[in-house]
Structure 1
Amino acid sequence: MAHIQLVDEIVREYLLFRGFTSTVKAFDNDLKTDKDKGFRVDKMVDQIMHYINYSDLNGLKDYWNHLETLVFSKLEIHVQPAIRKIEYSLYKLYLVTATQNAGGVRNEKVSEFMAKMLPELQGQSEWKEWFMLPYVQKPDENPSFSLYFTRAWQDSVLVSLHNLLATVFQCMPHPTLTSYESDAALLKRLQEEINALKLKSQQPATEKTSPCGHQSRLAQYSEKLSGPLSLVDDFSAIPSENLDHGLREARGLRGLLRQMGGSPVMGKKSGRSQSQN
């Protein structure tokens, strides 16, 4: 959604043109504190990693709750388990990173996490061993935790998070204003196709393209305009060697795209789509 930045500039230019100076100031302030980073997935992943690297549990939870309210809560219910897997993987990455930090701060941060997250996680079997983490000597060598201290598992979590956000943002309904550029490009391509067909229709009969050829090309355009965009299972890019049970969490997300492909991702269609129907 790189075009979002361009739309922001257009909105700001319009507000200035209209003389809405107070609105421009409020708009600029909102942009400075924009948690969605203009829907730039790489920036959002960087923000999450900032909270993890600095052991800011409150910041991490607040940011994830923001995403939950903005996007995840609007997804169909069968997608929610995959979302939860990513969230828990980030919490485990938080604990691993806090443990790796030098000095006594690491134990303090790990203990703080356990105390705050106990009510939410204590009833889940996959977290039973994790509550022993503060008392384990050299957890990176312990069979229960060694996998999570590998670079391969940590990278797989970030790949899964990146692909999840990118997929969701592509599928979620967009405001009409954000699609003007793609609509203009589509109209231009169609006009060029029409002009090309007109030129061919004016050529001698021996050089004309067969009617079937025209129909085939027009059918292709019709298919592009009416059919849903195919989604690539980017989660298959997650490293799969030597990751054992830890990566099953990430692999579970592969089904997310397949589930999305058969039905709308959002429970409701955008207003624009409904109006066109």
Structure 2
Amino acid sequence: MAHIQCIDELVREYLLFRGFNSTVKAFDSDLKADKDKGFRVDKIIEQIVHFINVSDLNGLKEYWQHLDSLVFSKLEIHVQPAVRKLEYSLYKLYLVTASQSTGGVKNEKVAEFLSKMLTELQGQNEWRDWFMLPYIQKPEENPTFSLYYTRAWQDSVLVSLHNLLATVFQCMPQPTLTSYESDAALVKRLQDELASIKIKAQQQSTDKYPSSGHQSRLTQHSERLTGPVPLVDDFCAIPSEQLESGIREAKGLRGLLRQMGGSPVMGRRAARSQSQN
């Protein structure tokens, strides 16, 4: 959804054009506080990593709750367990990062997390061992926690989150305004394909009849017929009274020729026949 930034600029330009200055100020303020980051997955991941690196548990929880209400809660039920597992993986990454902090902040942040999350996590078996983390001297060497201290596991969490967000944003229903660019691109592509087909058809026709002047005239005539004005419109443009007048004149001319002994052409043919006899 990279085109969202373009839409934001178009909206802002329109508001300025209309002179809605107070609305522009409010719009700019909302953009600065935009938690969705313009639906840019890389920016969302960056914000989550920031909360983890600075051990801001409240910021991490609030941000995840925002994403959950905006996106994840609208997913199908069978996807919810995977989303919750990813959330818990982020919490584990938070603990791992906090336990590696220097100074006295290390155990303090770990203990703070376990205290605030006690009610939510204490009844789950996968979290039972994590409450012993503050009392383990080297958790990165402990068989229970060593996996979580590897770079491979930490990267896999962020990659999984990136893929989930990218997939969800791609499938989300979008307002009409955001689809104009894709619609315009589709129309342009179809026009280019049609032009390419016409060029190929003309080339094939020329190759088949290279020396035929009649074919060239036929091609030119065909191009005129495929112009913006349909051929039938030329006939429809003739007023009906003029058409009826022409028919009456034609009938009168035929009657006059019959009175004179036929048409000049037929008269010459009859004269040649008599002279030959």
TM-score of the superposed pair, with normalisation by structure 1:
0.73
Higher relative contact order (CA 8 A, sep 6+): 1
Amino acid at match of 1:200: K
Query: Structure 2 CA distance, aligned partners of 1:207 and 1:92?
Result: 70
Q: Say whether 1:143 aligns with 2:143.
A: yes
Number of aligned positions between the proteins: 208
Deviation at 1:201, TM superposition (A): 3.3
CA shift for structure 1 position 207: 5.3
Give the whole-Å Cα distance in 2 for the aligned partners of 1:204 and 1:62.
Answer: 65
2: CA distance, partners of 1:169 / 1:11? 21
Q: Secondary structure at the match of 1:202?
A: helix
Partner of 1:106: 106
Look at both structures and tell me which one has the larger radius of gyration over its CA atoms: 2
What is the Cα deviation at residue 199 of structure 1? 2.9
Partner of 1:128: 128
Runs of 4 or more, structure 1, over 6 Å off, are none
Residue 47 (structure 2) pairs with residue 47 (structure 1)? yes
Q: How does 1:154-169 map to 2 (within 5 A)?
A: 154-169=154-169
Is the counterpart of residue 175 in structure 1 residue 196 in structure 2? no
SS of aligned partner of 1:34: coil
Q: What SS class does the counterpart of residue 35 from structure 1 fall into? A: coil
CA RMSD, 1 decimal = 1.3
Give the residue type in structure 2 aligned to 1:36: D
- TM-aligned CA deviation for residue 205 of structure 1: 4.8
Cα distance in 2 for partners of 1:203, 1:166 equals 45
Letter in 1 for 2:5: Q
Map of 1:6-21 to 2, 5 A cutoff?
A: 6-21=6-21
**Distance (Å, rounded) in 2 between the aligned partners of 1:145 and 1:196:** 61
Partners in 1 of 2:154 and 2:112 — Cα distance? 22
Q: How does 1:255-270 map to 2 (within 5 A)?
A: none
SS, match of residue 117 in structure 2: helix
Equivalent residue runs for 1:75-86 within 5 Å: 75-86=75-86
Unaligned runs of 5+ in 2: 209-277
Amino acid at match of 1:195: A
State how far apart, in whole Å, the 2-side matches of 1:184 and 1:152 are. Answer: 42
Report the more deviating stretch, 27-36 or 131-140.
131-140
Counterpart Cα distance in 2 of 1:207 and 1:168? 51
**1:198 offset after TM fit, Å?**
2.5
TM-score w.r.t. structure 2 length? 0.73
Does residue 115 of structure 1 match 2:148? no
In 2, Cα distance between the equivalents of 1:205 and 1:14? Answer: 50
Once residues 144 and 207 of structure 1 are traced to their aligned partners in structure 2, the CA distance between those partners, rounded to angstroms, is: 76
Aligned-residue sequence identity (percent) comes to 78
For residues 144 and 204 of structure 1, do their structure 2 counterparts lie closer, same or farther at Cα, with a shift above 3 Å needed?
A: closer
5 Å-filtered alignment, 1:211-222, equals none
| Alignment partners' CA distance in 2, 1:196 and 1:186 | 15
Shift of 1:178: 1.1
Residues 10-52 of structure 1, C-alpha deviation per residue, up to 9 Å, x if partnerless? Answer: 0000011111111111000000111111111111101000000
User: What does residue 28 of structure 1 align with?
Assistant: 28
Deviations 1:106-129 (A, max 9, x none): 111111101110111111110010
Amino acid at match of 1:5: Q
Distance 1:155 1:5 in 2: 28
Matched, 1:201 2:201: yes
1:64 and 2:64 matched? yes
Q: Deviations over 1:46-101 (max 9, x none)?
A: 10000000000000000000000110011111110110111000000000000000
